Amino acid sequence: MGFSELFILLFTLHSLLAMASRQPTAPKSYLFSEYIGAEDNNVKFSDVPINPNVEFHYILAFAIDYTNSSSPSPTNGEFKIFWDTHNLSPSQVSSIKTQHTNVKVALSLGGDTVRGKTCNFTVSSVDSWVSNAVSSLTKIIQEYNLDGIDIDYEHFVSDQVTFVECIGKLITALKNNGVITFASIAPFDDDDEVKKK
């Protein structure tokens, strides 16, 4: 390689590095998430102060794939709303999102109990659970103009592999269909519950 070719190569590399160093960096972002509506009635979005300098996620608790009867039973992915729909309605979701552009609202799947009975992740088959979940959740998410989902199962009848496959396929389908823009998974302090299945 001759001197002029080496000079051109070094000049090009220097120019590229200079341009890269001048590119704006993404601002540091902060996220705050708050579950709302799980056990207490009469809690409103306005009861929780919103910091305008952070991305703020309200998480409606819970959408559960169980019947809402006095003796609840699993529905294989057909989700129903179990939060306070009087104070956390579609119009209230729209209102809080309009008032605060940094607010997103999601729903949480699972939870601990339904009417005092342990809420287990129960699947008849992966394909049927995913199909039912995509259909029922899409209806709820679109009715409430929600942005995402949160996974918060705490008890399992199905094994780990089935859980991961179902949730992975669900999130992929909802994102690919443009139904949600984000998904989160709640921390769970008893990983033996999943491991023992």
The domain in which residue 42 lies consists of 32-195
Residue 24 lies in a domain: no
Residue 197 has what pLDDT?
42
CATH number of 186's domain:
3.20.20.80
Least confident range of 47-56, 166-175, 183-192: 183-192
Q: How many Å apart are CA 68 and CA 102, to the nearest integer?
A: 33
By annotation, the residues acting in catalysis are: 154
Residue 11 lies in a domain: no
Residue 150 lies in a domain: yes
Residue 9 lies in a domain: no
Residue 190 lies in a domain: yes
4-58 residue pLDDT tens: 554 454 445 445 444 544 545 546 579 988 899 886 678 899 999 999 999 999 9
Measured CA to CA in angstroms, residue 178 lies from 91, 100, 131, 142, 189 at distances of: 21, 22, 16, 11, 32
Q: Supply the pTM of this predicted model.
A: 0.81
156 and 163 Cβ atoms separated by less than 8 Å: yes
Residue 196 CA to its chain's centroid (Å): 25
Q: Considering its fold, how many domains does the chain have in total?
A: 1
